Amino acid sequence: MSLFDRFLFYVVHMVDKLGLWHRLPVLIGLGYLALRRHLHQRYNLLHVETTMSGKKYDVHQYPHRTADGKCNHPTDDIVGSQGTIFGRNMHPSTTKYGLLEPHPSVVATKLLERRKIVDCGKQFNMIACSWLQFMIHDWIDHMEDTHQVEIVAPKEVAGQCPLKSFKFYKSKEISTGSLQTKTGFVNSRTPWWDGSVIYGNNEAGMGKVRAYKDGKLKISSDGLLEHDEKGIPISGDVRNCWAGFSLLQALFVKEHNLVCDMLKENYPDFDDEKLYQLSRLVTSAVIAKIHTIDWTVELLKTDTLLAAMRINWYGLLGKKIKDKFGNIFGPELSGLVGLKSPQDHGVPYSLTEEFVSVYRMHTTLPEKILLRDIDSKASKQKYTPPIEEEVNMKDLIGKEGENRLSKIGMEKMLVSMGYQACGAVTLWNYPSWMRDLVAHDIDGDERPDRVDMASLEIYRDRERKVPRYNEFRRNLLMIPISKWEDLTDDEEVIDALYEVYGDDVEKLDLLVGIHAEKKIKGFAISETAFFIFVLIASRRLEADRFFTTNFNSQTYTEEGLQWVNRTECLKDVIDRHFPEMSRNYMRCSSAFSVWDSDPNAPNYIPLYLRPAS
Ligand code: HEM
């Protein structure tokens, strides 16, 4: 570390020791986050070199996103494309403990499996939970090897495991040619924020979803996704899909098609190809913007994070000035979006193993979806429709889930998900049905071997050499824990941790740690996970040519750019496709909070001048 960075680190460390940053006034809290992001950009981006190398290309020949994510980095065509390797935010784990220490089924049974659902209160609903999966499938999926592994539950817990043993494929590990990491794992998705979850991530996938007329994507007459002859949805990613996820895919296909209509009206000379490419750019940017200034703001509901996320998109000077002048003042004042050139801090863009691990949030999934009766005649606006039926999550997965969804209908499902809180990211909240799950192949076919996801996730982090909780925190420049009481005040949790890990805090698995950690007020996730997000959420925008150099009217068209600039939240998208829905059903401010919750109270103090939350 340079002398200057060492000084910055001491400042950050001192604030951490006092447990202070989130209690500071907004402007000072923002300063702390800026220092942290700077340090993470310097010390938590490892260059996982690979034997795969790209080549220079002519950027001007690629004014749009390609099907497989190639030709986005300005000088290397392969960076961020499908099939490249996951990066790392830290060195692989140095733990002395083996893959089965303690046994994943013991961890899953004693610490993860849901006893009684704990939900997120009014903060986050089932649309927000499905949105998580909608994003994950845009960015990441580990390629698998052909070798199977079997995990057999030890006697101690076998009686409590729905599967006494289960088989799954190893993660595909390849040599990297890097001294730091030696091997790495392959991402079978394109890590860019390119909407590949609806567009596909290669030529073949793209061809399947396109209607080849006026730039549009295929969609069925009921507004939901079309299906192939096997009943599998036709969409950009169909793996481990369920009704809530496929509903969001359909909503954004509708959005894409509406953008096509708008573009065609304004630019009647554009052909199918041009309309498709432009609409893809616009729709992907709409998704990225909603995630940045709507979804994340609800996930991390504090004034400091509201300011931080808006600064990422608009800069300190705010929307009005950015919309008027564009990004003329640089990243701090005008935001990351629209920067003159992409910025990767010397490490070619990819998503990372650690990012995957902290996004393991299956605890947000409930046991049942509560369907609302939206046909009951209510004249009142903002009326809460009564619960009509409870459907098991298991019945909403895969092909069966698609059948069910088409009977339920798009509007009813969206309203029902809006009214239902999602699960909280906490221990003993892992969906029980996921411990006996029919997982899918990459093409959406059901696998013959069922898996215990709770145990599998513990195994995956260890297999991929993601450091365990304490090492992870040290590597992230955070203060490690030295006893269970540093992690949580909950005595029952402390007893259970002691039972599984003894008093060895170094043994603690990352997944368990981030679920057990005391949360910052307003945060639905742990602080440890959050610091990875601080780094990666910015990187997804600033490293992408289509959010920086090419985020302009020459690339997006004037009307396309305006469409992105006018969209501020998911509610705006819902309003475009279901004009009555938010008026009738949404009391709250964001479509991601529970719809019968109160809107945000007005606050007359300017955001940056607000005191501690
Ligand atoms: C019904 C809904 C869902 C089902 C059936 C499902 C199922 C699965 C399955 C089978 C895997 C692969 C496990 C493995 O072999 O390692 C997986 C991975 C994953 N899921 Fe889900 N999932 C669902 C929803 C979600 C949600 C809501 C999130 C929230 C963040 C999520 C996050 C992840 C992550 C981060 C991975 C790891 C991906 C990777 O290893 O590359 N999933 N899921």
Degrees, nearest 5: CA angle 451-445-100: 20
**Residue 298 token pair:** 């609800």
Q: At what angle do helices 570-577 and 243-266 cross, to 10 degrees?
A: 70
Q: What is the pLDDT of residue 51?
A: 62
Is the distance from the beta carbon of residue 242 to the nearest atom of ligand 1 less than 6 Å?
yes
How many Å lie between the centroid of ligand 1 and the Cα of residue 297?
A: 23
Nearest CA to ligand 1 atom 2: 242
Q: Which long-range contacts (CB under 8 A, 24 or more apart) does 20-27 make?
A: 22/302, 22/304, 22/520, 22/521, 22/523, 22/613, 23/612, 23/613, 24/304, 24/612, 25/609, 25/610, 25/611, 25/612, 26/303, 26/304, 26/307, 26/607, 26/608, 26/609, 26/610, 26/611, 27/608, 27/609
- Tokens 């009307």 locate to 559
What DSSP assignment string belongs to 93-157?
P--SS-TTSS-HHHHIIIIIB-SS--B-TTS-BHHHHHHHHHHHHHH--B-EEEEEEEEE--HHH
Nearest CA to ligand 1 atom 34: 360
Q: Which of 135, 136, 455 to mutate to test the pocket of ligand 1 (most atoms within 8 A of CB)?
A: 136
Atom of ligand 1 nearest to the CA of 397: 1
CB 524 within 8 A of CB 299: yes
Atom of ligand 1 nearest to the CA of 451: 10
**C-alpha to C-alpha distance for 447 and 103, rounded to whole angstroms:** 24
CB 423 within 8 A of CB 365: yes
- Tokens 């307003």 locate to 522
The answer to whether residue 161 is domain-embedded is: yes
The answer to whether residue 149 is domain-embedded is: yes
Nearest CA to ligand 1 atom 28: 133
Nearest CA to ligand 1 atom 40: 142
Q: What is the CA radius of gyration of the chain?
A: 23
CB 405 within 8 A of CB 414: no
> What amino acid occupies position 531?
F
**C-alpha to C-alpha distance for 64 and 491, rounded to whole angstroms:** 55
How many Å lie between the centroid of ligand 1 and the Cα of residue 362?
A: 7
CB 566 within 8 A of CB 575: no
Low-confidence residues of the chain: pLDDT under 50: none
CB 421 within 8 A of CB 119: yes
**C-alpha to C-alpha distance for 403 and 415, rounded to whole angstroms:** 18
Domain count, the chain: 1
Task: Tell me, letter by letter, the H, E, C secondary structure of 204-235.
Answer: HHHHHHECCCCCCECCCCCCCCCECCCCCECC
Nearest CA to ligand 1 atom 27: 133
Q: Using DSSP, state whether 188 is helix, strand or coil.
A: coil
- Residues annotated catalytic, as ranges: 359
**C-alpha to C-alpha distance for 531 and 527, rounded to whole angstroms:** 6
Q: What is the pLDDT of residue 24?
A: 96
Domain range for residue 161?
45-609
- Single out the residue of 349, 372, 431, 438 nearest to residue 401, CA to CA: 438
Atom of ligand 1 nearest to the CA of 434: 5
**C-alpha to C-alpha distance for 194 and 285, rounded to whole angstroms:** 8
Nearest CA to ligand 1 atom 7: 240
What is the phi-psi region of residue 275: left when phi exceeds 0, alpha when psi lies from -120 to 50, beta otherwise?
alpha
H-run or E-run covering 56: none
Q: What is the pLDDT of residue 176?
A: 85
Is the distance from the beta carbon of residue 129 to the nearest atom of ligand 1 less than 6 Å?
yes
How many Å lie between the centroid of ligand 1 and the Cα of residue 453?
A: 8
CB 104 within 8 A of CB 458: yes
Q: Using DSSP, state whether 171 is helix, strand or coil.
A: strand
The answer to whether residue 380 is domain-embedded is: yes
What DSSP assignment string belongs to 480-538?
PPSSGGGT-S-HHHHHHHHHHHTT-GGG--HHHHHHHSPPPTTBSS-HHHHHHHHHHHH
* Partners of residue 186 on adjacent β-strands: 85
How many Å lie between the centroid of ligand 1 and the Cα of residue 584?
A: 33
Question: What CA–CA distances, in Å, run from 587 to 124, 420, 458, 522?
Answer: 14, 14, 39, 20
Q: What is the pLDDT of residue 383?
A: 74
Q: What is the CATH number of the domain that holds 478?
A: 1.10.640.10
Is beta strand 183-185 parallel, antiparallel or unpaired with respect to 368-372? unpaired
Is the distance from the beta carbon of residue 237 to the nearest atom of ligand 1 less than 6 Å?
no
Is the distance from the beta carbon of residue 364 to the nearest atom of ligand 1 less than 6 Å?
yes
Is the distance from the beta carbon of residue 140 to the nearest atom of ligand 1 less than 6 Å?
yes
ipTM surpassing 0.85? yes
H-run or E-run covering 1: none
The answer to whether residue 36 is domain-embedded is: no
- Single out the residue of 399, 66, 409, 435 nearest to residue 240, CA to CA: 399
Question: What CA–CA distances, in Å, run from 160 to 157, 336, 426, 499?
Answer: 5, 49, 20, 16
How many Å lie between the centroid of ligand 1 and the Cα of residue 127?
A: 16
Omega before 102 within 30 of 0, i.e. cis: yes
Is the distance from the beta carbon of residue 143 to the nearest atom of ligand 1 less than 6 Å?
no
Q: Which of 120, 127, 133 to mutate to test the pocket of ligand 1 (most atoms within 8 A of CB)?
A: 133
Q: What is the pLDDT of residue 509?
A: 98
The answer to whether residue 30 is domain-embedded is: no
By CB neighbour count within 10 A (0-12 exposed, 13-18 middle, 19+ buried), where does 373 fall? Answer: middle
Is the distance from the beta carbon of residue 439 to the nearest atom of ligand 1 less than 6 Å?
yes
The answer to whether residue 33 is domain-embedded is: no
Is the distance from the beta carbon of residue 142 to the nearest atom of ligand 1 less than 6 Å?
yes
The answer to whether residue 329 is domain-embedded is: yes
**C-alpha to C-alpha distance for 254 and 531, rounded to whole angstroms:** 34
How many Å lie between the centroid of ligand 1 and the Cα of residue 577?
A: 28
Q: Using DSSP, state whether 317 is helix, strand or coil.
A: coil
Is the distance from the beta carbon of residue 456 to the nearest atom of ligand 1 less than 6 Å?
yes
The answer to whether residue 445 is domain-embedded is: yes
**C-alpha to C-alpha distance for 374 and 392, rounded to whole angstroms:** 20
Is the distance from the beta carbon of residue 358 to the nearest atom of ligand 1 less than 6 Å?
no
**C-alpha to C-alpha distance for 527 and 517, rounded to whole angstroms:** 8
H-run or E-run covering 34: helix 26-43
The model carries a pTM of: 0.96
- Tokens 């003993």 locate to 428
**C-alpha to C-alpha distance for 299 and 570, rounded to whole angstroms:** 14
CB 490 within 8 A of CB 426: no
